[in-house]
Structure 1
Amino acid sequence: MTFIIIGIFIVLLLIGIPISMVLGMITVIYFVLVGDSSLLESTPMRLYSGLENFGLLAIPLFMLTGEIMNEGGITSRLVRFSRVLLGHIRGGLAYVTVVSNMFLASILGSANAQAAMMSKVMVPEMEKEGYTREFSSALTLASSIVAPIIPPSMIFIIYGTLSGTSIGGLFMAGIIPGILYGLAFIALISFLGYKMNFPKSERASFQEIRKNTWNVLPAMLVPFIIIIGILSGIFTATESAAVACLFAFIVGSFFYREFNWRKFPKILISTVINTATVTFLITMANIFGWMIAFEQIPQILVDVMLGISENPFVFLLLVNIALIVIGMFLDGIAALIILIPVLMPLVTAFEIDPIHFGLIVCINLTIGLLTPPVGTGLFIVSSIAEVKIEKLMRATMPFLAVAIVILFVITYWSDAVLFIPKTFGL
């Protein structure tokens, strides 16, 4: 029966049916083939229970926060501040792109949204200063993968919900890996800068630095409120989303006075549509996970893996290789939702910390944004920056290599991931 289900699953994916529909269809087909009517009768309740989780409330709230910050002028001020500080260094705009992405990661939490936004802002600016369009686009795309790593992160929320892992712990665990990625990309830019003779801008005056620093302070408070609030225990990760949303609204409306109330209905509609897409996928994944548990697929995999090796280092190596390949063909969130019910019993069997494993899985699937044939980030940036996909892929290769190296550092240096969560008891 398992092989029949896998075969139908692959066929449905290949003919282009959306992954959420595939998960639901394959589950219903399985229950029909089993011939147990009680399973079909229980399906509606399982669908409902898939959304009965307080942590999922953070998804629409963080999405709404990102939309409000864009409309309220907060995002543009963060980019401008980075440029004033770093623009005068050789390759300054390249550094600005990385640092701006790190700032925005603490607001948006979505690599695709960040790649789209930064492509519109930074690629034309870098091209004006003499960078090639291919390099500018590749750097913008690669830098956007820090968005789901530095908190808040939608992919962490989904992983935490599906695996029962602390979302606050995952948020805090992402800080050091996110910084490591930023520093690694900066080191690569520094190496390429002298090799390719990158340009540099004029140094900003002291008055300009002071003005932009003062101007950006309210915007910088939003991510600090999220992090400090969770670490201090004042509010949970989910509650932090509501606080961030309210504070972003106050900053955009009253400090910067750029928030346009006429666009508010459009923002709400966009948030609702994006939230519905994700939550429907989670709902379908819940009954899919129920089906594979009924078929005892996780237990079969545990037995197979323990038969290959009982060493957790070998298991993590195999997981990394498998996820890099899977990320080439499946969207990150879709892959996460399919794989977590299968992988978590293995995590328990190998006694791996679920927070550490969550970072490994989420970073792996985020790297998939850079890889063909389904790397959505590639297509988004290629379309916006008007770069041929094959040229963008070639320019992205050095960044992809660095991203994979850092992934393996994080995989086998668990203290880098768990230091902050353990320190604060998360």
Structure 2
Amino acid sequence: MVAFITVVVLVGLMLVGVPVCIAMGITSAGVFAALGNAKILAVMAQRIYNGTTGFTMLAIPFFILAGNLMNTGGITDRIFAFANACVGHWTGGLGQVNIVSSVIFSGMSGAAVADAAGLGVIEMKAMDDAGYDHTFSAGITAASSTIGPVIPPSIPFVVYSSCSGASVAKLFAAGFMPGFMMALAMGIAVYVQSKRKHFPVMPRMPWGERLKAFVRAVPSLLTVVIIVGGIWGGIFTATEAAIVATFYALFLSGVVYKSLTLKSLMHIIYDSIMTSCKTLFIIAIANFLAYFLIHARVPNQIIEGMLSITNNPYILILLIIFILFILGMFMEGTAVILIVTPIFLPIIEAIGMDYLQFGVIMIVASMVGLLTPPVGMSLYAVSSITKVSLIDLSKEVIPYVVGILIVLMLCAYVPAFSLTLPALI
């Protein structure tokens, strides 16, 4: 009964336009009070505060700042030029470049919206200038941005680690293969559409030009080596890696490329603070909602309900994925992770699934949420940049969503898909 009331109140508030984080806070506090547990509201401030004070959470604002520095400091321009030199002549041309650029950028930032809003501007301009269909360009830009949170470093993996206890380094390793498979699936979709719509293909660049593009991009590409290599090598934690990435991006932008002014730096810091505050506020409120759900024994009710339907582990996994899809359509990914992780972990333990595998399933499933209305953040980011309507953009990303779903099924039912690399650490 409590679970039903909570869902009705939460969805009702969101449907009338209340922001997700505010809706979660009102739902938690309101249902608590309505059930006669008003005294427990005394711990509300403490739970909200504790939700964002962990050392691991410090990685989030620094990864956001690093991504913004790269977008403004000329780093993403060099990444795009290098990707163009490598794969611009493939069928799909700049569509394939778009995907490869996002794969490289994902190893530096780990935030989908940073990819869509920053690298997306460069990608859209290049594709428009080359004569690509504007809606197609917007669709692949939105879709490719979802690769970022799967390939390390990844902000969602950091959040999942904080509430599950799973190793951040091993989670990062677990995301590599699914992330690259997402890129492959999107590349195939671009190939098919390019053949059907006869999009332009760029001439193959001479090896001399490719070498020049590589040399120009080397300092930027080293960011990936420093971050991922440092974490896997045990040199520093994910939080320390985020700080190192920030200072390295600042060094490249300000000293090496000399493309950063004091005015632009202040603007970057302001934008990063605002984005970090929004993200951490959602995490803080979601932490209190998760506490409320556990206190009200909602996880037990959900587990009992699911087990009453079936005890087949394969069907249970499918039910969990379905629930993640529904939540992802209405809520930001980090909030979903914080809310459902404590609910589903007992089921995951019961069916013998590894925490790392479940983490990958949850993050890949949340990427579908980034591309589905009404909350899809990547859709909104790209729509605001390109002026393509949300309806047209939602239709355009369907082939890429299908590709992500195929990868998700592989993650869910083929454990080696996400557990092979972590076993080597």
Tell me which residue corresponds to 1:216: 217
Equivalence map 1:98-137=2 (5 Å): 98-137=99-138
Unaligned runs of 5+ in 1: none
Residue deviations 1:268-297 (CA, integer Å, cap 9, x gap): 222222111122222222222221111111
Equivalence map 1:218-367=2 (5 Å): 218-367=219-368
Unaligned runs of 5+ in 2: none
Is 1:22 the counterpart of 2:23 in the alignment? yes
2:95, 2:190 within 8 Å by CA — same for their partners in 1? yes
Tell me which residue corresponds to 1:368: 369
State the identity %.
Answer: 33
Is 1:387 the counterpart of 2:388 in the alignment? yes
2:68, 2:114 within 8 Å by CA — same for their partners in 1? no
Mapped to 1, the partners of 2:128 and 2:72 lie a distance apart of 25
* Compared CA separation, residues 37 and 394, structure 1 to 2 (3 A): closer
Is 1:193 the counterpart of 2:194 in the alignment? yes
Mapped to 1, the partners of 2:123 and 2:65 lie a distance apart of 24
* Compared CA separation, residues 47 and 372, structure 1 to 2 (3 A): closer
CA RMSD of aligned residues (A): 2.0
Mapped to 1, the partners of 2:263 and 2:125 lie a distance apart of 29
1:302, 1:349 within 8 Å by CA — same for their partners in 2? no
Matched AA of 1:205: P
Matched AA of 1:229: G
* Compared CA separation, residues 11 and 212, structure 1 to 2 (3 A): same
Residue deviations 1:311-341 (CA, integer Å, cap 9, x gap): 2211111122222233223332333333223
- TM-score w.r.t. the length of structure 1 is 0.93
Mapped to 1, the partners of 2:27 and 2:326 lie a distance apart of 23
* Compared CA separation, residues 382 and 52, structure 1 to 2 (3 A): closer
Q: Report the Cα offset of residue 37 of structure 1.
A: 5.3
Tell me which residue corresponds to 1:149: 150
Q: Give the length in aligned residue pairs.
A: 424
Tell me which residue corresponds to 1:174: 175
1:119, 1:385 within 8 Å by CA — same for their partners in 2? no
Mapped to 2, the partners of 1:328 and 1:41 lie a distance apart of 32
Residue deviations 1:226-272 (CA, integer Å, cap 9, x gap): 11111111111111111111222222222222222222222222222
Secondary structure of the 1:174 match is helix
Secondary structure of the 1:13 match is helix
Mapped to 1, the partners of 2:182 and 2:169 lie a distance apart of 21
Matched AA of 1:104: F
2:108, 2:227 within 8 Å by CA — same for their partners in 1? no
Mapped to 2, the partners of 1:423 and 1:407 lie a distance apart of 22
Tell me which residue corresponds to 1:378: 379
- TM-score w.r.t. the length of structure 2 is 0.93
Mapped to 1, the partners of 2:5 and 2:195 lie a distance apart of 56
Mapped to 1, the partners of 2:301 and 2:23 lie a distance apart of 23
Q: Report the Cα offset of residue 146 of structure 1.
A: 0.3
Secondary structure of the 1:150 match is coil
Secondary structure of the 2:201 match is coil
Greater CA deviation, 193-202 or 207-216?
A: 193-202
* Compared CA separation, residues 220 and 9, structure 1 to 2 (3 A): same
* Compared CA separation, residues 200 and 265, structure 1 to 2 (3 A): same
Mapped to 2, the partners of 1:202 and 1:194 lie a distance apart of 16
Mapped to 1, the partners of 2:141 and 2:194 lie a distance apart of 16
Q: Report the Cα offset of residue 36 of structure 1.
A: 4.2
Tell me which residue corresponds to 1:33: 34
1:360, 1:411 within 8 Å by CA — same for their partners in 2? yes
Secondary structure of the 2:277 match is helix
Q: Report the Cα offset of residue 38 of structure 1.
A: 4.2
1:71, 1:260 within 8 Å by CA — same for their partners in 2? no
1:172, 1:227 within 8 Å by CA — same for their partners in 2? no
Greater CA deviation, 321-330 or 51-60?
A: 321-330
1:312, 1:352 within 8 Å by CA — same for their partners in 2? no
Q: Report the Cα offset of residue 396 of structure 1.
A: 2.0
Tell me which residue corresponds to 1:140: 141
* Compared CA separation, residues 124 and 250, structure 1 to 2 (3 A): closer
* Compared CA separation, residues 377 and 310, structure 1 to 2 (3 A): same
1:72, 1:256 within 8 Å by CA — same for their partners in 2? yes
1:19, 1:334 within 8 Å by CA — same for their partners in 2? no
Q: Report the Cα offset of residue 180 of structure 1.
A: 0.7
Matched AA of 1:181: M
Q: Report the Cα offset of residue 62 of structure 1.
A: 0.6
Q: Which runs of 4+ in 1 moved over 6 A?
A: none
Mapped to 2, the partners of 1:48 and 1:374 lie a distance apart of 25
Mapped to 1, the partners of 2:125 and 2:329 lie a distance apart of 28
